[in-house]
Amino acid sequence: MNLAIRDIRYHRGRFILTSIGLGLLLGVVMSMGGIYRGLFADALAVLDFAKADIWVVQQDTNGPFAETSRIPEDIKYRIRAVPGVAEASPLSFQTIQIERQGKPFRFFLIGYDLNGFGGPPGIIAGRGIRQKHYEIVVAKAMRMEIGEKIHLGLHDYTVVGITGKVVSSGGDPAAYVSLADAQDIQFKKDNYAIRNDRERIGANLAAIQSLSPAQAKYLQQNIAGITESTHTVNTVVARLAPGADLKEVQERISRWNHFRPISVEEQTKILTKGMIEKARMQLGLFRIILLVISAVIISLIIYTSTIDKIRVIATLKLIGSQNRVIVGMILQQSLLMGAIAYGIGYVLILLTYEKFPRRIVLEPFDLQALFAIVMAICMISSFVGIRKALKVEPAEALGG
Partner 1 sequence: MYAIEVEKLTKIYGKGETAVTAIADATFQVKPGELVAILGPSGSGKTTLLTSIGLINEPTHGKVVIDGANIADEGWIPGLDLKRIRREKLGFIFQAHNLIPFLTALENVMIALEINHLTKTEAKHRATELLISLNLGHRLNNYPTALSGGEAQRVAIARALANKPKVILADEPTAALDTENGKNVMALLKKLAVENHSAILVVTHDHRMVEGFDKIFEVRDGVIAQETKRDS
* Binding positions for partner 1, rule: CB under 8 A: 1, 3, 6-7, 9-11, 311-312, 315-322, 325, 393-395, 397-400
> Helices (DSSP H) in 258-363: which residue ranges?
264-269, 277-308, 310-318, 323-352
As a whole number of Å, the end-to-end CA separation of the chain is 28
Give the torsion sign (CA, 102, 104, 110, 111): positive
- Looking at beta carbons only, is 3 or 185 nearer to partner 1? 3
Cis peptide before 64 (omega within 30 of 0): yes
Closest separation in Å from C-beta 268 to partner 1: 56
Q: Rounded to the nearest 5°, which phi and psi values hold at 169?
A: -65, -20
Closest separation in Å from C-beta 354 to partner 1: 41
- Looking at beta carbons only, is 21 or 394 nearer to partner 1? 394
- Looking at beta carbons only, is 207 or 319 nearer to partner 1? 319
- Determine whether 103 is exposed, middle or buried from the number of CB atoms within 10 Å of its CB (0-12, 13-18, 19+): exposed
Closest separation in Å from C-beta 21 to partner 1: 21
Q: Rounded to the nearest 5°, which phi and psi values hold at 390?
A: -70, -20
Report d(CA 119, CA 159) in Å as an integer. Answer: 15
Closest separation in Å from C-beta 300 to partner 1: 20
Report d(CA 324, CA 40) in Å as an integer. Answer: 46
- Looking at beta carbons only, is 14 or 195 nearer to partner 1? 14
Closest separation in Å from C-beta 310 to partner 1: 12
- Looking at beta carbons only, is 232 or 321 nearer to partner 1? 321
- Looking at beta carbons only, is 227 or 322 nearer to partner 1? 322
Closest separation in Å from C-beta 392 to partner 1: 12
Report d(CA 217, CA 327) in Å as an integer. Answer: 96
Report d(CA 235, CA 31) in Å as an integer. Answer: 34
Closest separation in Å from C-beta 283 to partner 1: 41
Closest separation in Å from C-beta 317 to partner 1: 7
Closest separation in Å from C-beta 379 to partner 1: 23
Q: How long a stretch of residues is the chain?
A: 400
- Who contacts 49 (Cβ-Cβ below 8 Å, separation ≥6)? 118, 120, 121, 166, 174
Report d(CA 176, CA 156) in Å as an integer. Answer: 14
| β 174-178/135-139 pair status | antiparallel
- Looking at beta carbons only, is 96 or 336 nearer to partner 1? 336
- Looking at beta carbons only, is 237 or 326 nearer to partner 1? 326
Q: Position 4: which residue type?
A: A
Give the residues across from 89 on adjacent strands.
237
- Looking at beta carbons only, is 296 or 398 nearer to partner 1? 398
